[in-house]
């Protein structure tokens, strides 16, 4: 999620638009205080509503956990996870180094 100041909008307004077209959120601040969030107006927003669409985006951008996002959207954790799965938003994300470590552990366990 990108953050822009009000004065940035003059120079980066096209970037805010490009981010929205790429389904990315943007926060606009004034003197360090958030003023508004630019949320992509797309099928997700139209189908699921603003709270669930924003929760999915914030979760996808790793700003909220699954539990936080479900609470924000006022849905059960199961419903939130099902929504993400249906939209192709991964629920589990392993950093490459952690994934490699898991594979090594599996290999070690197989040898025992």
Mean pLDDT by 10 residues, the chain (112 residues): 84 84 83 84 81 91 92 95 93 82 88 81
Contact 29, 5 (CB under 8 A): yes
pTM of the model: 0.67
Give pLDDT, residue 70: 96
Q: Count of CB atoms within 10 A of residue 106's CB?
A: 9
pLDDT at position 92: 86
Residues ≥6 apart with Cβ < 8 Å to 16: 2, 4, 9, 26, 28, 38
Which pLDDT belongs to residue 75?
95
pLDDT score recorded for residue 19: 80
Position 52 scores a pLDDT of 92
Query: So what's the pLDDT on residue 27?
Result: 84
């Amino acid at each position: 999620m990108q953050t822009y100041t009000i004065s940035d909008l003059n120079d980066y307004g096209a970037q805010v638009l490009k981010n929205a077209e790429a389904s990315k959120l943007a926060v606009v601040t004034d003197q360090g205080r958030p003023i508004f969030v630019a949320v992509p107006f797309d099928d997700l927003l139209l189908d699921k509503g603003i709270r669930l669409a924003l929760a999915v985006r914030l979760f996808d951008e790793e700003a909220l956990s699954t539990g936080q996002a479900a609470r924000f959207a006022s849905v059960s954790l199961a419903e939130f996870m099902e929504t993400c799965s249906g939209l192709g938003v991964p629920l589990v994300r392993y950093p490459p180094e952690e994934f490699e470590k898991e594979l090594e552990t599996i290999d070690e366990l197989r040898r025992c």
